[in-house]
Structure 1
Amino acid sequence: MNLAAVDLNLLVAFEALMEERHVTRAAERVGLAQPSMSSALRRLRALFADELFLRAGAGMQPTEKALALAGPIREALQQIRSVLAPDHGFDPSTARRRITIAVTDYGDLVLVPELIRLLRREAPGIDLAVRPLTDATAALAKLERGELDALIGGHLPDSPRCVRHRLFEERFVCIRDATRANGTENLSLADYAALPHALFSSAGGDGLPSVIDALLARHGLKRRVAMTLAHVVAVPFAVAGTDLVATMAERVARRFTHVAGIAVITPPFEIPAFAIDLVHSQRASADPALRWFLDAVSRCTRRLRG
């Protein structure tokens, strides 16, 4: 292909169509009239010999070809932008950019609200798209392809093409209905094993056996999981008003003490803490906007650690 014969503005149109999945919104995003974006789409289809985007309801659905092109095109445009906008030219207060991350339920509840407040305060022109992080291996592959800018969560896999930063550690606590807890901050091992348990399992299984079950087995005990829930936010509300007990991340639990009417209680045995990590690709070092964003994540977590 003769690169000189290709209008590189078509790649900007492709990026907008991929993110918006709608011709009119994509046109508004890049400052084009709707007919001009439709014309760009026709030229893109001819350039890549593929339909790229198909009508689906009120929007458009990318084809397999478009999905395969999305990462390389996005990365190429980011490289061009980084060359044209060196460090001293990046101003978060006036920058316009879309950043896409994938986070676990934990990140959605604990970190994302802090991050949104920081962005609205310091970089109101930066748009943040938050995707669910349910399959860590698949999310890492998307990060490597440039379809995501960062991953935030626990138990994330390693990659030689990505960089990992430890944000903080999280410990486990127990929660019970506030009325049944009667103000106590402790729970005996026997009571813990005897109570019916509510369990969060994002994979949809029963979550057994786990480190908690292994710890109980050392004492010759076994718990009964009376309820398994697919979303961590549902756990405190399932516990409230019942005899259930649940074991969950402390920072999540404390967000629901008043809203759901639960009490946070120290577990009757020590449960190993887990790390919350930030993972990004090595290309972030050449992108001033991404570097600023990653620093913003670090600043948010410093406040959480405090």
Structure 2
Amino acid sequence: MTIIVTMNLAAIDLNLLVAFEALMEERHVTRAGQRIGLAQPSMSSALARLRALFGDDLLVRTAEGMQPTARALALARPVSEALEQIRRTLDSGPGFDPRSARRHFTIAVTDYGDLVIVPALVEALRRDAPGVDLTVRPITDAVESLARLERGEVDALIGGHLPVSSRTTRQSLLMERFTCVRDASHAAPGISLDRADFVRLPHVLFSSAGGDGSPSAVDAILSEHGHKRRVAVTLPHVVAVPFVLAGTDLVATMAERIARRFADVAGVAILPLPYEVPAFAIDLVHGLRATSNPAMQWFVDLIVKTCRTI
């Protein structure tokens, strides 16, 4: 807020700052107006007044759409934080009661979130908030999913390696590690694969991009040791991996919590990897306004609390 305190506050219409926030989030005059209930001419007028107020174009039209100037980017977070403080101060409404609430949340998740986190989250919702409904959408394009979060089309994203922006925040839910999976009949009890066998055996690879040629974390580690594996089968859905390799000589590298969900039903064994592959974080990404919305804050807290039990 220090960027704007030196200005004459009497000359600032609070509604202009609300318009600025919407413009920065939407990067589109009409959509920004729809968000705050202004017609397109009124929103254009608000943008003109903002430009005069800050002495800057703020948003300029390009071939990729309206893009913020350096001045607008510098203003975005302080203005948003100032508005959030005002919202919290003025919010004297009742708190969120999950037991009696009728509410709907929408999240977008990776395959990992769908298989590992969503079942536990749904169980918690049915137990603690039976009137709360949940829609789960897939993350097929992380950048597009982030844009949908910024537009308010989804309430949160859950998964690994998710992007963030100045209008969102990320918090870690849990750490996951990789493990080796192979048909149970080929795995001797207590005996792990050595590095030579791991490289020699044909592999099943999960790739939502269809095997686009980008090296995985496992391939990067193998390359550091001068090794290269043969990927005999590439699959677009991680849930198919243990069922495809069952009954074959194939092996696969999977997130441990996913592998454990399917080990018994698919008839596969879980073995330690013979290489040190770094663990990775599963994150929750949500909008900056979550902390000022009692329902959203409760939902975020429930996700975090649920993941502590997984």
TM-score surpassing 0.5? yes
Mapping of 1:84-233 within 5 angstroms? 85-87=93-95, 90-233=96-239
Distance change (3 Å), C-alpha of 1:108 and 1:146:
same
Contact in 2 for aligned 1:173/1:265 (Cα 8 Å): yes
The residue identity in structure 1 corresponding to 2:110 is: T
Distance in 1, Cα, partners of 2:216 & 2:149:
29
The residue identity in structure 1 corresponding to 2:135 is: A
Post-superposition offset of 1:85? 4.3
Other structure's SS at 1:255 match = helix
The residue identity in structure 2 corresponding to 1:164 is: R
Mapping of 1:1-306 within 5 angstroms? 85-87=93-95, 90-304=96-310
Post-superposition offset of 1:215? 1.9
The residue identity in structure 2 corresponding to 1:86 is: P
Post-superposition offset of 1:84? 7.8
More displaced 10-residue stretch of structure 1: 119-128 or 285-294: 285-294
Unaligned stretches of 5+ residues in structure 1 = 1-46, 49-78
Distance in 2, Cα, partners of 1:103 & 1:122:
22
The residue identity in structure 1 corresponding to 2:249 is: D
Distance in 2, Cα, partners of 1:85 & 1:245:
56
Name the TM-score, length of structure 2 as normaliser: 0.69
Contact in 2 for aligned 1:199/1:228 (Cα 8 Å): yes
Q: Deviations for 1:128-147, whole angstroms, at most 9, x for unmatched residues?
A: 00000111110111111111
Contact in 2 for aligned 1:176/1:262 (Cα 8 Å): yes
Q: Deviations for 1:3-57, whole angstroms, at most 9, x for unmatched residues?
A: xxxxxxxxxxxxxxxxxxxxxxxxxxxxxxxxxxxxxxxxxxxx99xxxxxxxxx
Distance change (3 Å), C-alpha of 1:206 and 1:198:
farther
Distance in 2, Cα, partners of 1:165 & 1:219:
33
The residue identity in structure 1 corresponding to 2:205 is: L
Distance in 2, Cα, partners of 1:194 & 1:151:
38
Distance in 1, Cα, partners of 2:93 & 2:183:
54
Taking only the aligned residue pairs, the percentage that are identical comes to: 62
Other structure's SS at 1:303 match = coil
Other structure's SS at 1:99 match = strand
Contact in 2 for aligned 1:236/1:253 (Cα 8 Å): yes
Name the TM-score, length of structure 1 as normaliser: 0.70
Contact in 2 for aligned 1:185/1:266 (Cα 8 Å): no
Q: Give the aligned partner of residue 59 of structure 2.
A: none
Q: Deviations for 1:142-170, whole angstroms, at most 9, x for unmatched residues?
A: 11111110000000112111111111110
Distance in 2, Cα, partners of 1:238 & 1:85:
54
Post-superposition offset of 1:218? 2.9
Q: Give the aligned partner of residue 58 of structure 2.
A: none
What is the total number of aligned residue pairs between the two structures?
A: 225
Post-superposition offset of 1:185? 4.3
Moved segments of 4+, more than 6 Å: none
The residue identity in structure 2 corresponding to 1:277 is: D
Post-superposition offset of 1:208? 4.3
Distance in 1, Cα, partners of 2:137 & 2:92:
29
Distance in 2, Cα, partners of 1:239 & 1:183:
18
Distance change (3 Å), C-alpha of 1:109 and 1:207:
farther
Other structure's SS at 2:309 match = helix
Post-superposition offset of 1:205? 1.9
Other structure's SS at 2:308 match = helix
Distance in 1, Cα, partners of 2:184 & 2:296:
43
Q: Deviations for 1:66-112, whole angstroms, at most 9, x for unmatched residues?
A: xxxxxxxxxxxxx9xx958432xx21011001100000000000000
Other structure's SS at 2:302 match = helix
RMSD between aligned alpha carbons? 1.9
Distance in 2, Cα, partners of 1:212 & 1:242:
21
Distance in 1, Cα, partners of 2:309 & 2:217:
29
